[in-house]
Amino acid sequence: MLSKLRELLIGKTLKTEELAGEKLNVFWGLPILASDAVSSVAYAGEEILYVLIGVLGLMSYKYMFYAALCIVILLFILVFSYRQTIDSYPNGGGSYIVAKDNLGTIPGLTAGASLTIDYILTVAVSICAGTAAITSAMPSLLQHKVAVAITMLVILTIGNLRGTKESSKLFGVPTYLFIFSCGVLIVTGIVRHFIFGYSPAPLYPIPKAIGDITLFLFLRAFASGCTALSGVEAVSNGIPNFKEPSQKTAKSVLGLLACLVLFIFGGLSFLATIYHPVPVTNVTVFAQIAQQVFGKNIMYYIMQITTAVILVMAANTAYAGLPLLLSLMAQDGFAPRQFSQRGKRLSFSNGIIVLAVAAGVLIILFKGDTHLLLPLYAVGVFLSFTLSQFGMFLKWHRSKALGWKHKSFINGLGATVTLITVTLIGITKFLHGAWIVFIVIPLLVYFMLKIKNHYNKVVEQIKLSNNQRPNIGMKTNNDQHVIILLGTLNKSFLKSLNCANSLSQNVVAFHVSTDTETTEKLKKKWKEYNAGIPLIIEHSAYRDVVGPLMNFIESEDRASKHGETVTVVLSQFVITKWWHNLLHNQTGYFIKSMLYKNRNVAVLTIPYIIKE
Amino acid sequence: MLSKLRELLIGKTLKTEELAGEKLNVFWGLPILASDAVSSVAYAGEEILYVLIGVLGLMSYKYMFYAALCIVILLFILVFSYRQTIDSYPNGGGSYIVAKDNLGTIPGLTAGASLTIDYILTVAVSICAGTAAITSAMPSLLQHKVAVAITMLVILTIGNLRGTKESSKLFGVPTYLFIFSCGVLIVTGIVRHFIFGYSPAPLYPIPKAIGDITLFLFLRAFASGCTALSGVEAVSNGIPNFKEPSQKTAKSVLGLLACLVLFIFGGLSFLATIYHPVPVTNVTVFAQIAQQVFGKNIMYYIMQITTAVILVMAANTAYAGLPLLLSLMAQDGFAPRQFSQRGKRLSFSNGIIVLAVAAGVLIILFKGDTHLLLPLYAVGVFLSFTLSQFGMFLKWHRSKALGWKHKSFINGLGATVTLITVTLIGITKFLHGAWIVFIVIPLLVYFMLKIKNHYNKVVEQIKLSNNQRPNIGMKTNNDQHVIILLGTLNKSFLKSLNCANSLSQNVVAFHVSTDTETTEKLKKKWKEYNAGIPLIIEHSAYRDVVGPLMNFIESEDRASKHGETVTVVLSQFVITKWWHNLLHNQTGYFIKSMLYKNRNVAVLTIPYIIKE
C-alpha cells in the first residue's frame, strides 16, 4: 500500500546507471537556476521601496532604480568572479569546497553552514512571497495563508523527490512563461507611457517626504534588495548536475542568468519610476504595477499566477542546491552519512526532506509572512560568497599560474565587494533578526566538528590491521554458550530450540518469573514436554527481564572463564498487518538494546511468522 | 538522564510484592471515588438550569431542585442495586464483567466500550469545568483556557503514574476541603437567609418566562444532570483496589458517597432556589451562589479553588477506573496485552497514558468548552449501568439462590430505571452530539472482537503438543549455513567472523555492491587479509541490499535442499550517546525486518561498542 503510494507520487525506482541521463542542458538548466534571481523582483523591489518610501516619498522611485542597478552590477562582478571558480572546480565549486580547500576547515564549514541556512530561508521566503502573489489576486485566501504555503511546499518536495531532470522540465516551463510575461509587461508599460502618454494616478496614496536621501538609507535599501543573488552559488555548486561539457554549460547558464536579471529587475524598477506602486499590506508592489499597466484583466491574473509559480520555482533552486551541499559535507564526514546516499529516484532524498521540514517549520513559526523572514536572509549567502572569493584569491596567489595576476584581481574584487555587502547587510539588519543567523552559524559549525569527531573515533576504533587474525574453524568441543530466553512453551520456542541445537551442544533455557502462577504452569509443562536442555528460572521482583538475564550471563561467563561470546536466542513474532504490532509487547526490542551494551553478547533472533 | 527525570517525577520502581500496600481504606477511598459525583454539582446544576431558564424564567429554580432530587433518588436506587453486585463479584464487578458473565460477549464488550468512552469524557469534562472555576475567579486566564486545562491534565497524569495509594492521599485532602467548604456554604447560605432575612438581588438578570413546564423539558433537564453518576461504576469496578475486607470497604464507600451527594447536591440546589444564579458565559452558577452567600471575600476564592481542585480529582476517578477496566479486558484478550501489565510504580501505566492522551485530544478539539462536551457524556455510563443491572437480574433468576426474588427485584428496578434514563439521555441529547457516541461504541466493539480474533489465531498457531519433538543435539557435520553480511573489512567484521566460526564450519561472507569503486577496494583488502572464508559479491543496480541477499539465501537453500534455517550475521554499532544514532544508517533494522518475513532465516546480531 505505502510503497504503491510512494511509487505513484515519486515514480519508479531508478538504477544507479541512469544517473547520467538525469543531467541538465543549458535550456532546462537556466530556468531551474535562474528562477531564484529572476523571481526576487517580486519581493526585492518591494523591500527596497519599503525602506525608502516612509522617508523620501515620491523621490523613492529614483533611488529604488539606482539600488536595483547597483544590485545588477554586483551580480555581474559575481558572474565574472564565479566563472573562474567554475573553471577551477569541475566537480562543483560551491563556497564550501573552495573555502575549505584554500582557507581551511573552519572557514569551509562556516561557508557550508551559512549556505545551509540561506537555502532553507530561500525556500521559506520564496514560498511566502508566492503565497502573497496569490492572495493579492484572491484576497479571500488571505486567512488561509499558511495552509496555501504548506501545500506549495509539499508539491515542490514531491516534485524534487522525483529527481532533478524531471523536476526541471516540470518546473522549467512556468519560468519561461514568467520571463515572457515580464517582457510583455515591460514593453507594454513603456509603450503605453512614452508613445500613448498613459500615466495613471497611483493606486495608493504616496506618503509625504519627511527627509532627504542619506548614505545609510540608500545602503539599507541596497542591502534589502540583495536577497536576489543566491542562484549564483547554486550554479557553481551544481556543476555535476549539468550535461557534459558541464563547466561550459554552467558558465553559459550563469551568463544568461545575469542578463535575465538585468533585463527584468532593471525593467521593472524602471516601470516603478513611472507607475509609482506603494508597499501596502495586502497587494504586492509588483501586482500594483501589473494592474496599472494591464488593468485588472486576464493578463493581470496570468502575471500573478506566473509570479506565484516562479517564486515556488525559486524555492526549487534551493532544492537543487542544499541536498548537493549536504552530500558533499557528508562525504567529508561533517554531516550525517545519510545525506550522501541517493534515494529511489537518484535524488539526495534525505537532504530534500530535511530542507522541506526546516522550511515548513519556519513558515509556520513566522506565519507565512515574508517581511518577518527577510531580515534573516542574505547574510548567509554573502558570507559564503566572501569566503569563496577570498579563497579563490589566495589560490591564484599561491599557484602563480599563467595569468594569476589578472585572475586574482577579478576574484579579489568579488571578495571585496561581497565583504562590503555582507557587512552592510549585517549592520543594517542586525536588530531586525540577522542576529539569529550570527548565533546559528557558529552553532552549526560546532555540531559539524562534533560529527566529524565522532566519525573519526569510529574509524579509529574499527580499523583492522592484517595481523589481527580470525580464529580459524570451530572449537572441537562445540560448547559455545547459547541461552534461549523462554516465555511460554510453544512452537516458536521449538523453532528456536532446533536452531540453537544445530549451532551448539551447550544450550540452556532461561525464564524470568514475574508472576508465580505463570511460572508454576510453565514448570509443569516443561516437565511433561522434556525438551532435553536444562531450564533455569530466576525471580524478578521488579518485573524486569533484562537484569536477571544479564546477571545469569555474567555468572555463566565467569564460570567458563573464557570471556567468549554468549549467544542469546530470542524468538520474535512476525506479523503481516502493521496494526497487529500494537497487540504485542515490543519488549524484544528493549531487551536487545540492553543486551547489545554488553560486549560479549550476540543476539540470535528467530522469526516466527503468524499467518492471518 | 531520562530515567532520572522519570524517577523524580513518578518515584522509584516498586516490587510486585508491594502491591498489597498500595490499597485504599474507607477514609482515603471515599475522596478518590466520591469526587466525581460530588464535584458534578459544579456543572450538573448549571446544565439543568441552562435547559430550563430560557423557557421558565424564575420558575426554573423550583424544577431544578426537583430534577436534582430525582437524580439523588436514582443514585440511591443504584447504590442498593450495586451493593448486590459488589457482594457477587469480589474481584471487581464492573459492568464489563457482570454483563459479559450474564449476558454474553457482545453485551459485555458494549458495556466495556461505553465505559471507556465515558471515562475519557469524565476526564475531559471535569478538567474543562475545573478550568471554568478558575477562570470565573481570574478572568484574565480566560484566553489561556486550553493551556490551563492541559497543564492540569499533565499534573494529574504524573500523580497517577506514581501509583494509586499515594495519589489518593495527594488527592484526598482537597476533596475533604471541598466537602467542608460546601458544608460551610450551605449552612451559611441557609442561616443568612432564614435567620437574618438576607435575600440579595440576582447578579445577572433572570430571563422572562416564555412558557410553562412540560414533561419533555423536565426530562431534558433531568438528563442533563445525570452526568454525576459515573463514580458508582468506579467503586464496584475497583474492588481489588480496596483494603481487606475489600467488599465491605467498597460498600461503605458507596453508601457514604450517596449520602454526600444527597447533602451537597440537594443543599446547593436548595440554595439556588434562594439566591437565583443565572447561567452566563464567564462565571459559573456555582461561583455566583458563593459570591452571593459570602461576598467576594477570601471564602469565595477558597470555594473556587477547592472546586477547581475537586473537579480535577473527579477526573482522577476515571484514572482509577479506566486502566483497571482495560487491564481486565486485556486479560480476556479484547484489548492489547500491554494494558494488563503494571508499570514501575505498579499502576497500569499504559492505560493511564492512553487515557491522558485521549482526554487531551478532546480538550484541544473542543477548545476546553464544557458545554460542547457534555452532550456526549453520560450516554455511555448509563448504557453500561443498564447492561450490568440487567445482567445481575438474569443472574438471580437463573441461580434461584436464597432470597433471589428480593434481589432480582432490586437489580430489576435498577435496570429499569437506568434503561429509562439512558433512553431519555439518548433522545434528548442525540442531535447535540450523542450520535457520535452511538457510532463510536459499535466501532470499539468491532475492534475488540478483531483483537480477540488475532490473539486466538496466534495461540492456535503456536500451540505445542508433546509429540512435536525437538531435534536433539548437533548434526555431526556442523554445516549449518551462516552468511556474514559484509560492508567494509573492519574489527566489527572480525568479531562477527569469530562468532560465526565458533558456531559453524560453513561460513561465507556476502557483499552487496552498490558502487564499483568501494567494491574494488574491498576486493583488494580481502585478498590481502585472507579471512579463510569465501566472499560472494553481488551487484545491486537499485542500491538495494535485501533483494540480492534474499536471492542468495534462496539459491543456497535450494542447493542444500534441506529447507533448514540459514543464519544471517549482521554487525551493529552500539553507541553511547543517543544523538549519534542519527549519524549512522539504520539500514540494519530495515534489513532485519525484511529478512524476518522469510521463515527459514535466523538473524544473529553482533554488537560492536563504540567508546566515546
- Which of residues B73 and B314 earns the better pLDDT score? B73
Distance from CA of A128 to the nearest CA of B (A): 28
Of B336, B472, B499, the CB nearest to A501: B472
How many Å separate Cα A4 from the centre of its chain? Answer: 25
Cell 509609482, residue?
A276
Show Cβ contacts of residue A272 under 8 Å, excluding neighbours closer than 6 positions.
Answer: A45, A49, A61, A64, A65, A285, A289
Q: What is the pLDDT of residue B347?
A: 75
Show Cβ contacts of residue A110 under 8 Å, excluding neighbours closer than 6 positions.
Answer: A99, A383, A384, A387, A441, A445
Please give the Cα distance from A583 to A576 (Å, whole number).
Answer: 12
The candidate with the shortest Cα–Cα distance to B384, out of B86, B116, B91, B77, is B116
Beta carbons of A544 and A572 less than 8 angstroms apart: no
Edge-to-edge order in the sheet of strand A601-610: A535-539, A506-513, A481-485, A566-575, A601-610, B601-610, B566-575, B481-485, B506-513, B535-539
Q: Which residues pair with B537 in a beta bridge?
A: B511
Show Cβ contacts of residue B325 under 8 Å, excluding neighbours closer than 6 positions.
Answer: B94, B96, B112, B115, B116, B119, B237, B351
Contacts with B, A 131-190, CB within 8 Å: none
* A544 chain-B contacts, CB cut-off 8 A: 13
Of B342, B491, B597, the CB nearest to A543: B342
CA angle B464, B466, B468 (to 5 degrees): 70
Outline where A89-207 has alpha helix (H): 95-103, 105-137, 145-161, 164-194
> Nearest 5°: phi and psi at B143?
-75, -15
| C-beta atoms of B543 and A342 within 8 A | yes
| 3-state DSSP assignment of residue B480 | coil
User: How is residue B225 written as a grid cell?
Assistant: 444532570
The reported pTM is 0.76
Residue of B nearest to A526 (CA): B466
Cβ count near B419 (within 10 Å): 17
A603 Cβ under 8 Å from any chain B Cβ: yes
User: How is residue A581 written as a grid cell?
Assistant: 504490532
| C-beta atoms of B501 and A472 within 8 A | yes
User: How is residue A287 written as a grid cell?
Assistant: 501586482
Q: Which residues pair with B508 in a beta bridge?
A: B483
Cell 569527531, residue?
A453
Is the pLDDT confidence value at B474 over 60? no
Residue of A nearest to B482 (CA): A503
Please give the Cα distance from A543 to B349 (Å, whole number).
Answer: 14
Mean pLDDT per block of 10 residues along chain A (612 residues) reads: 68 66 77 77 82 88 90 89 88 84 94 92 90 85 88 88 64 83 92 88 87 87 81 76 85 90 89 89 85 88 86 82 89 91 78 94 88 82 90 91 88 91 87 87 95 91 84 65 90 90 88 88 91 90 84 74 79 82 80 81 89 78
| C-beta atoms of B16 and A543 within 8 A | yes
Over residues A497-516, the pLDDT tens digits come to 988 888 888 899 999 998 88
Residue of B nearest to A503 (CA): B503
Please give the Cα distance from B150 to B365 (Å, whole number).
Answer: 12
Outline where B276-365 has alpha helix (H): 285-294, 298-331, 349-365
Please give the Cα distance from B520 to B543 (Å, whole number).
Answer: 16
| 3-state DSSP assignment of residue A246 | helix
Of B529, B541, B596, the CB nearest to A574: B596
> Nearest 5°: phi and psi at A573?
-70, 135
Over residues B526-575, the pLDDT tens digits come to 998 888 899 999 988 777 888 888 888 888 765 565 667 789 999 888 88
| 3-state DSSP assignment of residue A573 | strand
Residue of A nearest to B578 (CA): A593
Contacts with B, A 521-540, CB within 8 Å: 528-529, 531-532
Please give the Cα distance from B594 to B600 (Å, whole number).
Answer: 12
User: How is residue A163 written as a grid cell?
Assistant: 529527481
Please give the Cα distance from B391 to B74 (Å, whole number).
Answer: 19
**B306-329 as b/e: b if 16+ CB within 10 A:** bbbbbbbbbbbbbbbbbbbbbbbb
B474 Cβ under 8 Å from any chain A Cβ: yes
Please give the Cα distance from A133 to A177 (Å, whole number).
Answer: 16
| C-beta atoms of B609 and A601 within 8 A | no
Beta carbons of B360 and B97 less than 8 angstroms apart: no
A282 Cβ under 8 Å from any chain B Cβ: no
Residue of B nearest to A608 (CA): B599
Please give the Cα distance from A442 to A446 (Å, whole number).
Answer: 6
| C-beta atoms of B502 and A515 within 8 A | no
Please give the Cα distance from A365 to A370 (Å, whole number).
Answer: 12
Please give the Cα distance from B72 to B44 (Å, whole number).
Answer: 12
Q: What is the pLDDT of residue B345?
A: 66
* B531 chain-A contacts, CB cut-off 8 A: 470
pLDDT level of residue B165 (50, 70, 90 thresholds): low
Q: What is the pLDDT of residue B544?
A: 82
Is the pLDDT confidence value at B130 over 70? yes
Its sign, for the CA torsion A409, A410, A411, A415, is: positive
- Which of residues B201 and A445 earns the better pLDDT score? A445
* B598 chain-A contacts, CB cut-off 8 A: 607
By CB atoms closer than 10 A (0-12, 13-18, 19+), residue A337 is middle
Pick among A462, A468, A482, A494 to test the B interface (most B CBs inside 10 A): A462
Please give the Cα distance from A263 to A41 (Å, whole number).
Answer: 11
User: How is residue B481 written as a grid cell?
Assistant: 549455513
Please give the Cα distance from A175 to A310 (Å, whole number).
Answer: 6
B454 Cβ under 8 Å from any chain A Cβ: yes
Q: What is the pLDDT of residue B440?
A: 94
CA-based Rg of chain A, rounded to a whole angstrom? 32
**B241-267 as b/e: b if 16+ CB within 10 A:** bbbeebbebbbbbbbbbbebbbbbbbb
Long-range contacts of A178-183, Cβ-Cβ distance < 8 Å, separation of 24 or more: A178/A35, A178/A38, A178/A39, A178/A306, A178/A307, A178/A309, A178/A310, A179/A38, A179/A260, A179/A264, A181/A299, A181/A302, A181/A303, A181/A306, A182/A38, A182/A41, A182/A264, A182/A267, A182/A268, A183/A263
Please give the Cα distance from B66 to B218 (Å, whole number).
Answer: 9
| C-beta atoms of A584 and B543 within 8 A | no
Terminal Cα-to-Cα distance of chain A (whole angstroms): 17
pLDDT level of residue B17 (50, 70, 90 thresholds): low
Q: What is the pLDDT of residue A604?
A: 93
B563 Cβ under 8 Å from any chain A Cβ: no
> Nearest 5°: phi and psi at B504?
-155, 160
Beta carbons of A194 and A186 less than 8 angstroms apart: no
* B505 chain-A contacts, CB cut-off 8 A: 473-474
| C-beta atoms of A604 and B599 within 8 A | no
- C-alpha dist (Å) from residue B214 to A226, B55, B57, B60: 75, 10, 14, 12
Q: Which residues pair with A483 in a beta bridge?
A: A508, A568
The dihedral over CA atoms of B357, B358, B360, B365, expressed in degrees to the nearest 10, equals 140
Q: To the nearest whole percent, how much of chain B has pLDDT over 70?
A: 92
- How confident is the prediction for chain B on average, in pLDDT? 85
Per-residue pLDDT averaged across B466-476, rounded? 70
Pick among A538, A543, A585, A611 to test the B interface (most B CBs inside 10 A): A543
Residue of A nearest to B602 (CA): A606
The candidate with the shortest Cα–Cα distance to B317, out of B43, B122, B151, is B122
Please give the Cα distance from B293 to B275 (Å, whole number).
Answer: 8
Size of interface A-B (CB pairs under 8 A): 214
Its sign, for the CA torsion B147, B153, B157, B160, is: positive
| C-beta atoms of A466 and B528 within 8 A | yes
Show Cβ contacts of residue A290 under 8 Å, excluding neighbours closer than 6 positions.
Answer: A185, A299, A300, A303, A304
> Nearest 5°: phi and psi at A586?
-95, 30
pLDDT level of residue B188 (50, 70, 90 thresholds): very high
The candidate with the shortest Cα–Cα distance to A392, out of A236, A599, A512, A217, is A236
Distance from CA of A339 to the nearest CA of B (A): 10
Q: What is the pLDDT of residue B100?
A: 93
DSSP β-ladder status, B481-485 and B566-575:
parallel
A562 Cβ under 8 Å from any chain B Cβ: no
pLDDT level of residue B245 (50, 70, 90 thresholds): confident
Beta carbons of B192 and B198 less than 8 angstroms apart: yes
B607 Cβ under 8 Å from any chain A Cβ: yes
Please give the Cα distance from B316 to B171 (Å, whole number).
Answer: 8
